[in-house]
Amino acid sequence: MVNSPDRAMALIEELYQGTKDVVTKRISQLEGALGSTGPLQKWDMEYAKQILITKQTGGFSPQDARQYFQVAKVIPGLLQFARAVYGVKLQERPEVKTWHRDVIVYDVYDDNEERDDLMGRIYLDYLFREDKENHPCTLALTTGVEGKQYAEAVLVVGLERELGATMHFWDATACWHELGHLFHHILGGKNQRYHRFSGFEGMQYDFIEAPSQLAEEWLAES
């Protein structure tokens, strides 16, 4: 524990000294990519990053990658990732009533033959709607309580609904990020055994974000 302002300041100073060279180098790379003479502005950051990625990868652009991320394929891809990485079986439940017909529902089972039991339920609300909060997020509906209820959570993103629609690489990254939160909540909430470590409550942010960062890295590396 930090315990005192002096120790907090010492910690900040230590972090600053440990990261300033890397950050300074990164900023000058981004400024170089923009070709600007002044200091890098926050609102230019994403644009500069795109130029830099294109330069460093010999022509790859996150925008060009759209063709590989068709909305119709990304959702099955997300579920395939969940099955393979989190060791779960998913059963679609079309009969479950939800708040909108776009929402698809799956029950999540443990894929271990000896523990073939229900772990929770996920809702994917993934298509853009005018009257919806379309910003990517994961919302917990219930936490797991042994003998009473299973963990349930919703993944929200706002992907284009037109036939053949594609998405920007950053939007695909957001889908994998939220999937990390979704399964962190479901797997941790199972029968409350790991409830202390599940999804969103009462933990350090770096721990909360870790499964999502790993899922993002998997996508980027693939």
Contact footprint for Zn ion (CB under 5 A): 209, 212
CB 81 to Zn ion: min, Å: 17
Q: What are phi and psi of 88, to 5 degrees?
A: -125, 160
Of the pair 128, 200, the CB lying nearest Zn ion is at 200
Of the pair 30, 155, the CB lying nearest Zn ion is at 155
CB 209 to Zn ion: min, Å: 5
Looking up tokens 């950051």, which residue turns up? 45
Of the pair 40, 151, the CB lying nearest Zn ion is at 151
Of the pair 111, 209, the CB lying nearest Zn ion is at 209
CB 177 to Zn ion: min, Å: 6
CB 137 to Zn ion: min, Å: 8
CB 94 within 8 A of CB 77: no
Q: How many residues does the chain have?
A: 222
Residue 39 DSSP symbol: P
Residues whose CB falls within 8 Å of the CB of residue 143, separated by 6 or more in sequence, listed in order: 149, 151, 185, 189, 192, 195, 198, 199, 201
